[in-house]
Amino acid sequence: MNKLTTLTVVIGLAVLAAPFSASAQCIQVTPENWDYGDVKVGTARSQAFTIYSCQESAVYLFVIEITDDATGAFTITSALPLGSIPGGETRELEVTFTPPSLGTHEAFIHIYSNAPGNHTYINLSGVGVRGWSCVRAKAAPCP
């Protein structure tokens, strides 16, 4: 690579990085953690999470994903577009818990952004149950 090409690549990378290097980004996610409680196997329960750009400058979201979900019980069902959230504004994300089996299920929402620390994790948990009549009320014998 000649010197002009190298300089062009370096300047190009600096220009690309510039919008993401503002000094005062931060995000807050509410709720910070979520327990879906007891949910009958095969049915679903959803929860909305609000992502707030809590400074004057925009925050840029690179990745939003579910991680450490060993059973595949959690899915992002209403995703917000990746990109910037202007300072002081919010975006909403919906995650659905559909337990595929009995027992406790756990995972995280992972948000990778240009906020300090870069990674935000929201703990998710829920329990797959046979049904309310069997587990909660003990009104019917459990199979």
pLDDT in tens, 72-117: 999 999 877 788 999 999 999 999 999 999 999 999 999 999 988 8
C-alpha distance from residue 1 to each of 10, 13, 14 (Å): 12, 16, 18
- Give the residue carrying structure tokens 């004057």: 56
Domains of the chain: 24-133 (2.60.40.10)
pLDDT at 131 over 60: yes
**d(C-alpha 119, C-alpha 45), whole Å:** 26
Q: If you average pLDDT over every residue of the chain, what do you get? A: 81
pLDDT interval class at 132 (50, 70, 90)? low
Segment 76-86, tens digit of pLDDT: 998 777 889 99
Predicted local confidence at residue 116, as pLDDT = 86
What is the Cα 11 distance to its own chain's centre? Answer: 33
pLDDT at 4 over 60: no
pTM, full prediction: 0.73
The token pair at 136 is 């909660």
B/e letters for 4-39, b = 16+ CB within 10 Å, e = fewer, are eeeeeeeeeeeeeeeeeebeebbbebeeeebebebb
